[in-house]
Amino acid sequence: MTGKASPPGPAERVWRLFGRELRTVARTRTYLFLTAALAAILLGIALTGSVTAGYVPTVVDLLTPLELLVPIIAVAFGYRAIVADDARGELDVLATYPVSAREHVLGVYIGRAVGLLIAIVTPLVIVGGAVAFRREEPVAIYATTAGADSPILFARFVLLTIAFALVVLAVALAISALAGGIRSGLVLAIVALIVLLVGLDLALVFGLSAGYLPESALLEAIAISPLSAYRGLVFETVITTAAGSGPETASVPASILGLAAWLVGSLVVAAWALRR
């Protein structure tokens, strides 16, 4: 007597969606181009001088470009992820299967996240290797104390950059789920980039100058902006650590909480939009 195959569970459904997204990323040449372009830019910046100075000077040189490039690349990976399925009618097909909106968003997000991390981490690993081979002075490999230039600090910078990229990808996925079409998704993505790169920081500056935001709360308030939270965490946990002194630039707990709130909130919005 032959029994019927049991239907796939939630984990298997997420895994199948993950595999589909990973194949989509692998087949899309634009993502390969973005990876190569980011590697060329970061290596070009590092090789002009900071790569011989050490890990932390390289972090200082790369921070500002990454503040601009990471959001652009993350949005490029995510803004079409769901709205393109809708345009092709795939969402209607998936609606006939027992796939919840939460499972759909999670599978798509993990698949795109893997591709995004490859695009961002690969150039940073290459830069880190270049520093290891071309640094003019010996490095205290296990030092994390003040004044030490260590690959551990560079690894910390890479992890913070990964967290920032994953947050922006989640925002892009929410935009994709909310968009009514590919063109509107692109417009919303551009607006989101402007808000993330400029708008939230300007709002903080305005709130401080107008007196709505007290100076005593500034270090916690910058966590409202994912970009400011990322920048503050890099300064607090990498640059200031190596320098040994300097003014406090961010509240580490508030910044971590801010990034987590943006990540979870964006994924919740994406799942809600799919259920409509």
Tell me, what amino acid is at 12? E
Q: Going by C-beta distance under 8 Å and a sequence separation of 6 or more, which residues neighbour residue 66? A: 42, 161
Q: Does residue 78 sit in helix, strand or coil?
A: helix
Q: What is the mean pLDDT of the chain?
A: 81
Distance CA 6, CA 48 (A): 59
Domain membership flag for residue 4: no
Please give the pLDDT value at position 146: 47
Q: How many residues does the chain have?
A: 276
Domain membership flag for residue 1: no
The token pair at 148 is 């030490």
| Confidence at 143, pLDDT banded by 50, 70, 90 | very low
Give me the residue label for tokens 């790369």: 62
Please give the pLDDT value at position 242: 61
Domain membership flag for residue 252: yes
Distance CA 199, CA 186 (A): 18
Please give the pLDDT value at position 227: 92
Span 258-274, average pLDDT: 92
Nearest to 84 by CA among 35, 166, 20: 20
The structural domain count of the chain equals 1
Please give the pLDDT value at position 160: 96
Tell me, what amino acid is at 262? W
pLDDT at residue 134 is higher than 80: no
Span 2-21, average pLDDT: 71
pLDDT at residue 155 is higher than 90: yes
Domain membership flag for residue 24: yes
Domain membership flag for residue 199: yes
Classify residue 136 by its DSSP letter. Answer: S
Give me the residue label for tokens 């799919």: 274
pLDDT > 70 fraction of the chain, expressed in percent and rounded: 82
Least trusted range by pLDDT, from 8-12, 166-170, 177-181: 8-12
Distance CA 122, CA 128 (A): 10
Q: List b or e across 216-227, with b for residues whose CB sees 16 or more CB atoms inside 10 angstroms.
A: eeebebbbbbbb
Helices 151-178, 252-275: inter-axial angle, 10-degree rounding = 30
Domain membership flag for residue 62: yes
Distance CA 94, CA 84 (A): 13
pLDDT at residue 260 is higher than 90: yes
Span 43-58, average pLDDT: 81
Instruction: Report phi then psi at 15, rounded to 5.
Output: -60, -40
pLDDT at residue 12 is higher than 80: no
Q: What is the pLDDT of residues 83-92, one digit of tens each?
A: 776 555 555 4
Please give the pLDDT value at position 8: 66
End-to-end Cα distance, the chain: 43
Please give the pLDDT value at position 86: 59
Domain membership flag for residue 3: no
* Between residues 241 and 45, the one the model is more confident about: 45
Span 178-190, average pLDDT: 78
pLDDT at residue 4 is higher than 90: no
Give me the residue label for tokens 């107008």: 210
Give me the residue label for tokens 């040994």: 244
Q: Which among 195-199, 200-204, 246-250, 267-271 has the top mean pLDDT?
A: 267-271
Domain membership flag for residue 234: yes
Please give the pLDDT value at position 13: 77
Please give the pLDDT value at position 144: 42
Please give the pLDDT value at position 5: 52
Q: What is the pLDDT of residues 209-243, one digit of tens each?
A: 777 777 767 778 888 899 999 999 999 888 887 65
User: For residue 58, what are the CA distances in angstroms to 4, 152, 190?
Assistant: 59, 13, 29
| Confidence at 149, pLDDT banded by 50, 70, 90 | confident
Distance CA 237, CA 250 (A): 10
- Say if residues 232 and 259 touch (Cβ distance below 8 Å): no
Distance CA 212, CA 226 (A): 20
Structural domain harbouring 259: 10-275
* Between residues 17 and 96, the one the model is more confident about: 17
